[in-house]
Amino acid sequence: MAAPKALVALSGGVDSAVAAILMQEQGYDLIGVTMRLWPKSRCCDEKDIEDAAEVCAQLNIPYQVLDYREAFRQQVVDVFVAEYQAGRTPNPCARCNQFLKFDALLEEGKKLGATILGTGHYARLQETPFGMSLLRGEDAAKDQSYFLFALNAGLLPQLRFPVGEMNKDAVRALARRHGLPVAAKQDSQDICFVPDGDYRRFLADYAGLDMEQEGEMVDSSGQVIGHHSGTLNFTVGQRKGLGGGSGQPRYVLALDPVSNQVRVGSETELYQPQAYLQDCNWLTTLSASDEHHVTVKLRYRSRPEPGLLLLKEDGRAEIRFHEAQRAITPGQAAVCYQGERLIGGGWIR
């Protein structure tokens, strides 16, 4: 019987390289692929492509580089710019997984006769009474399930996350035992297409946005209390750069690019008891008439917080937290879990 053919997505890092080793040991007939996404990127740049090619040569598997630069620009980078212009704080990594990586690679796999896609994400797949479920990665410090909330549930049976059962130290140890050149390679951080981490410079250089559009700074009642240097320079919860003149610290409560206003207030005013979501995606069937007990991550590194999930019409939802949450930020993802199982989420509006 012929071995099942599968693609393995290689970023040039150690996690995806070890995913390839594990899938090869499990008997898959592998094809390694790397998506070329962006010039001067922190992920999948020319050095990463060289490293991925070397890994494939060592494992004796064929390797291809796929050009997705234009799709990445349209579906991730341009949306990133538009979100900032609309006064939101985007999460491009989750959007890349939602709109580009998995769908595109599975389609590419079909052309090559492969129906399975493996990646180096720290997440787990498990058959449960609810069907194929997506679970948190075993290593809590590396768990990446947050970024996968918007996957099409129908694709889960075709996916493999081989390192999801491992911790990072074990992954590196396995890479060393196999003599992989990427065993000690450092992880990429921050936004891959903003190499220096300065998103303001990126918005100015790439999109030509004017970052210094001075406007009014108002308090929660709408009274003008000062001026700001441009809404693009701020995000909800920010304290730095708001100036003095107040007896207590001020924080950004909201941004209004239309009126070019930054609304500020006390830290107490940052706390809200609910979040409203749009463009939701659910990996399991949920009744719209019920309240669902969940824990919610409002940011990748935030602690899961308990609350009630209520589904609304038109792909919207509301989360009512047991305790008010600090700096709920429009444009970020609110990702919902029941125990270890990821059930989906949506974009905070």
The pLDDT assigned to 70 comes to 94
Q: Which residues participate in catalysis according to the annotation?
A: 96, 192
H or E element in which residue 254 lies = strand 251-256
pTM of this prediction?
0.93
**Contact yes or no for 149/281 (Cβ under 8 A):** yes
Tell whether 11 is in a known binding site. yes
Tell whether 145 is in a known binding site. no
Tell whether 296 is in a known binding site. no
What's the token pair of residue 276? 């409203």
DSSP character for 266? -
To the nearest 5 percent, what fractions of the chain are helix, strand and coil?
Answer: 30, 30, 40
**Contact yes or no for 146/335 (Cβ under 8 A):** yes
**C-alpha dist (Å) from residue 143 to 37, 120, 168, 182, 325:** 23, 11, 10, 20, 22
The pLDDT assigned to 141 comes to 93
CA dihedral 234, 239, 245, 246 (to 10 degrees): 130
Tell whether 141 is in a known binding site. no
Pairwise CA distance, residues 191 & 297, whole Å: 19
Alpha helices, DSSP H, located in the chain: 14-25, 46-59, 69-72, 78-85, 92-96, 102-111, 168-177, 199-207
The pLDDT assigned to 218 comes to 95
**Contact yes or no for 105/35 (Cβ under 8 A):** yes
Tell whether 15 is in a known binding site. yes
Tell whether 19 is in a known binding site. no
The pLDDT assigned to 308 comes to 98
The pLDDT assigned to 151 comes to 96
Alpha helices, DSSP H, located in 44-143: 46-59, 69-72, 78-85, 92-96, 102-111
Tell whether 247 is in a known binding site. no
**Contact yes or no for 291/333 (Cβ under 8 A):** no
H or E element in which residue 297 lies = strand 292-297
Helix (H, G, I), strand (E, B) or coil at 291: coil
Please provide residue 28's backbone torsions phi and psi, each rounded to the nearest 5 degrees. -80, 145
Please give the order of strands across the beta sheet that includes 5-9. 63-67, 29-36, 5-9, 116-118, 159-160
Tell whether 76 is in a known binding site. no
Pairwise CA distance, residues 93 & 102, whole Å: 12
Pairwise CA distance, residues 164 & 125, whole Å: 8
What's the token pair of residue 81? 């710019």
Pairwise CA distance, residues 277 & 131, whole Å: 25
pLDDT under 70: residue ranges of the chain: 1, 40-44, 189, 244-246
**Contact yes or no for 193/92 (Cβ under 8 A):** yes
Q: State the first-to-last Cα distance of the chain, in angstroms, to the nearest integer.
A: 51
Tell whether 230 is in a known binding site. no
